[in-house]
Structure 1
């Protein structure tokens, strides 16, 4: 058996072997954490002199689709932010997917004065993808903009998204999603840690992947697509729970150009209890596994571009393989060299504190907002508590996927 051989190999490792593996992990994380901001700094210096943006003269009609299922706490704010968007040629379609609360009633108040179009389903489709597809049936715009029911868009956010489509080669644009507050209006420590997490993920990760052409997710919370291309793709598939990731991979298979605009800003509500956060992250991770497995044929597709192959392998390696290897390494170290593990853990945390702090400082510099330096105070708890616990949650999610445990939206 493969696993028997793997565990026999682990048992044969010496302490020096474990130290070598540890430094390999450090090298990988150092490259990923600091390489991105350094690249972006160089890119920004170059673009400040060379890059020029064009603006749409013709404003194509935009259909803003807001799928909602039991979102009475946030639906009003989401609708009003879409209404107040400065983009002139737009329609707003709210899809009530069998809500049991006051979502439909609150949305209907805006339908009565013609501000939105409300479409209702008596029974939930069981997925956000189903709700989005239903909304697309009523869309008449040349561009589709999807906005989550717990997300608020900045007044110029939609204009900035759509403006990227002036390039005929661009098929989809991801917006910048930031944390507004917790689901219940709180801004507790958990919410602030997610705010910091989103800041790094979008300011570094999404910007970097957009520039080098390896972006894997057009955010479902705030993203824009060409309507004809979306319909040609068959819209959203309902066989995964991360429909935005699935759709992005479908676009990548067709070698479409996908970009990110960090100036197209939206604000979302974050889980403010550990239980709701854990549920959300298990859903995301399980959906990632579902989608990667569904699209496992990407490596066999003739003509599949190099950047797509690299980005898919990178996600598989960093999110799945490295996670399993870290747990295997740590578990083996504990059982084989238990007397030394405390020193290894202390040294690990010190190294990652340094890497995280430098990366956060560079990200704040890139954002040109000194206020983002505030995230440095969260580095210790992010490194010592948040990320290790998230790793455990992700491992649980992968087991849920393997056991075929069902998850709805």
Structure 2
């Protein structure tokens, strides 16, 4: 059987993109502007042990599959292809067909595939998981994220706003929801490179503390705080959120941390943040969520190459757990379209700095990022994942929230 026929079995009869294989066979429409090129039998051997997206991703990361054109366009064209819907009998037939290829060309998974050691969501294992993704190269992140160094969903005031304008708008939206005023104390858990911490200090006169499990992030952020002359108000520490100071804060922001917590730890997570707030203090939780129940496991490629141990929950579950921890929920909104725009900006940045990025982190890791950001953009556009901000308040002993009757 020719390679193109096998790929057609995996992708479906109506292959939406052009497929060109090393044996000269072809599939899909000749008029397609984008194409998958199967360069080596090793790519086919990957499909024996991982018949779906994981096998294809392994082959792409390893350079055994190449894409002609934009990766996002290929994924968009293939978005309706049921890669995960191969029946057991179809998987068995595929494995039998490819068995001779697998015996001659089998390869171990790429070295970039990672599963952290230790007990799930222990401090030790969480630190390893975070280091795997974030302690790559600050220079690489500067190229991808841009000057804001904000690695979370931006908020676009207009469709043509720049990525930097949208990241500043995101930080200001969080500040407004938290009602930040001069003299307040803010705790930002999972603070990344300190964007929210520095915004709160510079724009609102807030004494802000950020904590992150990434040593690279903490070092970069603290140096940037010094450079901006914000050392009197802002600080970032290399610290687990569970070890953050327990004194009363006026406000807490959690922007992109909850995805790393784990479902079983959510009650203790929100309870710990509740205890760190003064009565009347607010929590803004900003995180990626699943759009519906029952939930699905994190995509195997994302779980093994990008966010080890990451878990996404529906927003309804997060709201319930926050409520059970003592928070009164005051506001919630879905920003998934904004995250698609954010990822489009990061994808452009990576392509503009592709040669430098490859030289800095290697071709394999650069390919991981190209693939995962394009796939994530599509996921937000197609409502396979969402981004929710949930605002809660710790009421005072008389049940007062301190909110105006309308508006912020």
User: Structure 1 length as normaliser, TM-score?
Assistant: 0.25
| Higher normalized contact order (CA 8 Å, seq sep 6+, divided by chain length) | 1
The structure with the greater share of residues assigned to helix is: 1
